[in-house]
Chains A and B, each alone.
Chain A
Amino acid sequence: MTNMRTKLSQYANWAILILITLFFIFPFYFIIVTAFKSGPDLTLNPIGLPTQYQFGNFVEVFAGTKIFQSIVNSILVSTGTIVIGLIIYVASSYGLYRLKGTILGTVLFSIIVFGMMIPAVGYWQMILTYRKYHLYNNLTGVILGLVASSLPFSTLLIVGHLKTIPNDLIDSAGMDGASDMQLLRHVIVPLAQPIMLTITIFLLVESWNNLILPLLLLRDESLYTLPIQLKSTFFRQYAPRYELFFAGALITSMPFIITYIFFQKHFVYGLGGALKE
């Protein structure tokens, strides 16, 4: 009897979940289907399958637009953010970790936590500040801005991880006369590898998809990163080219989609799990 009931409720769970899942999958259908439609087909036949598959859309995305340049820009921004970010975050986390328990450590920690609560809406001041340091209208500015804005989250995450390393390990290394650099290279970094992978994934997604920083900081179209380029190339006033936009969106999201399918666990932990801290 109870067995029956649990079985029934299992089926009910499946039914409700599948219904919600269908609602979730529905937009993906349009991304894929519309990418293969022609302009007129899109107007006359908004929900059906394409009457004729237009593979030409994918060619047109690249022809006569700066999408390719933007892919290069986005790769540069992501690589720069990940490399600079990891170096800076590991160094500052190590420093914070060694200062734990001191007044200075506590003060620095509270500054980070307070900083996270400041609403980031000083857009105009951002432009003025970046301009002052010659970081306006170049990719370096976007990279450093991304590194800076992800700092509190990443640092707290790494410090949290370092705290799980047994103190003895570090003390004995210190006793053996290891310098800080040796300690970092041979003890801390190897032990922090899982959390560094998490942060790499977080930074990759964040830098590849960020909208506001490139929107504020980049003026020249040749510098645009992918999100800005996709939005401005296919959405000129009065004539949005949805079919080309979807083709472009599909191509530029593909590497991410494939990586996600294979490394789903890392993504879920990297993007969501980190929030639990």
Chain B
Amino acid sequence: MSTRAVHKYSLLKYLLYILPAFALWFVLAIYPHIAIYPISFYKWNGLPWGKMTWVGLNNFRNFFFNPSYSRLVWKSILYVVSLVVIQTPLALLVTTLIHSMRKGGGLFSGIFFFPVILSTVVVSLTWKYMYDPNLGSINAVLSIVGLNALKTNWLELDMAPVFAVVIHVWHKIGYPMTIIFAGLTTIPDSLYDAANVDGANGIQKYFRITLPLLMPTILRILLLTIITGGLAFDYSYLLGPVSTNMFVSKVDTLAVWVYKSGNEGNMGWPAAVGVVLSIVFVLVYIIYHFVSKRTEGKIS
């Protein structure tokens, strides 16, 4: 009886260690993003004393069926898809190449990881300069090699989010690379030795041993990539007109629009974006959970 009381007391004591951190985290980092859920059913000008009018699912409907907003949904999907398609294979390629090297690997991984320490402002505005139609180095290089036909105003194209993704990959490729490195070290050498005895070549070994055994790692990276891509703000925002919030640019994704949506006069719309993203993330997570269970079952 008395030990139980002591136990209860110590539970409370340890809870006290956690409470300040949890309170801070909940109030400043979680609450604001949950508080928007109910707002998505209202029309509201955003002012605390402003009137809230119930509009049901209108905010969602408007968002998906009004072309000027559904455009943003497509831009975000384009962002996520191109991030997955560009970043994952590139990270896999670079990491396996470095891993297979006898020496010099540290130097290369040091170079690829390096941009991570720079701020998104430095990185994005550097690339913005390179994309610039008049000053930019990309167009200048194109005209030197005689590909004048390819010169264009990169950030005004409909596929502009892809150019934001190029920056994203350049900046953050170090992260997936470290995850893949960790995955590679878990593959036992004995498998490769056995394959060597059977006379398998490098490409066969890669597709028969390395890739299948890296599958859990790759799935993990896909999950992280989809979530970071869906929330991507910095690169797209900085490629647009940074001196003002008034203009919508071709690079804008959902998160950037949420930031600029103060001009729209209805805070129900950005709130609806938050709800939709939450639902998508939960679905992605559920799919991830089941697929990764299945692949793990196959391997063992």
A interface residues (Cβ-Cβ under 8 A, vs B): 9-10, 13-14, 16-17, 20-21, 24-25, 27, 30-31, 34, 42-43, 46-47, 88-89, 91-92, 94-96, 98-99, 102, 104, 108, 111, 115, 117-126, 128-130, 133, 135, 144-145, 147-149, 151-152, 155, 180, 205, 208-209, 211-212, 215-216, 226-228, 230-232, 235-237, 242, 245-246, 249, 253, 256-257, 260, 264, 267-268, 271-273, 275-276
Bound together, the chains give a CA A94 to CA B127 distance in angstroms of: 43
Residues of B near A232 (CB, < 8 A) are 242-243
Q: Do B177 and A272 touch across chains, with their CB atoms under 8 A apart?
A: yes
Bound together, the chains give a CA A216 to CA B33 distance in angstroms of: 14
Which of A47, A119, A149 contacts B278, CB < 8 Å? A119
Which of B10, B118, B273, B281 contacts A209, CB < 8 Å? B118
Q: Do A119 and B135 touch across chains, with their CB atoms under 8 A apart?
A: no
B263 to nearest A CB, angstroms? 12
Is B98 interfacial (CB 8 A cutoff)? yes
Q: A260-B114, A273-B182 are in contact. List 9 more A-B contacts (CB 8 A).
A: A88-B21, A118-B30, A119-B278, A121-B254, A121-B273, A122-B274, A148-B28, A237-B241, A272-B177
Which of B17, B31, B231, B273 contacts A95, CB < 8 Å? B17
Q: Which residue of B lies closest to A184 (CB)?
A: B17
A-contact bits for B58-75, CB 8 A (1 contact / 0 none): 000000000000000000
Which of B33, B116, B129 contacts A119, CB < 8 Å? B33
Q: Do B11 and A102 touch across chains, with their CB atoms under 8 A apart?
A: yes
Q: Do B29 and A145 touch across chains, with their CB atoms under 8 A apart?
A: yes
Residues of A near B109 (CB, < 8 A) are 268
Is B94 interfacial (CB 8 A cutoff)? yes
A183 to nearest B CB, angstroms? 12
Residues of B near A260 (CB, < 8 A) are 114, 117
Residues of A near B234 (CB, < 8 A) are 211-212
Residues of A near B242 (CB, < 8 A) are 231-232, 235
A248 to nearest B CB, angstroms? 9
Residues of B near A215 (CB, < 8 A) are 259
Bound together, the chains give a CA A123 to CA B119 distance in angstroms of: 21
The 4 closest A-B pairs by CB, nearest first: A272-B178, A95-B17, A209-B119, A92-B21
Is B190 interfacial (CB 8 A cutoff)? no
A179 to nearest B CB, angstroms? 11
Bound together, the chains give a CA A152 to CA B282 distance in angstroms of: 18
Residues of B near A242 (CB, < 8 A) are 129, 135
Bound together, the chains give a CA A124 to CA B261 distance in angstroms of: 9
Known: A99-B14, A180-B13. A211 touches B121 (CB 8 A): yes
B126 to nearest A CB, angstroms? 5
Known: A104-B11, A231-B125. A129 touches B135 (CB 8 A): no
Known: A152-B25, A275-B175. A17 touches B231 (CB 8 A): no
A250 to nearest B CB, angstroms? 9
We find that the number of chain B residues with CB closer than 8 angstroms to chain A is 101
Q: Do B141 and A47 touch across chains, with their CB atoms under 8 A apart?
A: yes
Known: A42-B135, A47-B141. A125 touches B18 (CB 8 A): no
Q: Which of B77-85, B100-108, B151-159, B290-298 contacts A (4 or more CB under 8 A)?
A: B100-108
A236 to nearest B CB, angstroms? 6
B interface residues (Cβ-Cβ under 8 A, vs A): 10-11, 13-18, 20-22, 24-36, 39, 46, 48, 90, 93-94, 97-98, 100-102, 104, 106, 108-123, 125-127, 129-130, 134-137, 140-141, 144, 170, 174-175, 177-179, 182, 202, 224, 227, 230-231, 233-234, 237-238, 241-244, 254-255, 258-259, 261-262, 267, 270-271, 273-274, 277-278, 281-282, 285
Q: Which residue of A lies closest to B183 (CB)?
A: A276
Bound together, the chains give a CA A10 to CA B90 distance in angstroms of: 19
Bound together, the chains give a CA A180 to CA B16 distance in angstroms of: 12
A11 to nearest B CB, angstroms? 11
Residues of B near A115 (CB, < 8 A) are 25-26, 29-30
Q: Do B118 and A256 touch across chains, with their CB atoms under 8 A apart?
A: yes
Q: Which of A119, A123, A232, A260 has the largest number of chain B CB atoms within 10 A? A: A119
Residues of B near A151 (CB, < 8 A) are 21, 24-25, 29
Q: Do B244 and A237 touch across chains, with their CB atoms under 8 A apart?
A: yes
A186 to nearest B CB, angstroms? 17
Q: Which residue of B lies closest to A133 (CB)?
A: B27
Q: Do A236 and B243 touch across chains, with their CB atoms under 8 A apart?
A: yes
Known: A34-B129, A99-B14. A43 touches B135 (CB 8 A): yes
Q: Do B100 and A121 touch across chains, with their CB atoms under 8 A apart?
A: no
Residues of B near A208 (CB, < 8 A) are 119
Q: Which residue of A lies closest to B94 (CB)?
A: A20
Known: A88-B24, A211-B120. A121 touches B126 (CB 8 A): no
Q: Which residue of B lies closest to A228 (CB)?
A: B121
Which of B15, B271, B285 contacts A117, CB < 8 Å? B285
Bound together, the chains give a CA A92 to CA B16 distance in angstroms of: 9
A219 to nearest B CB, angstroms? 13
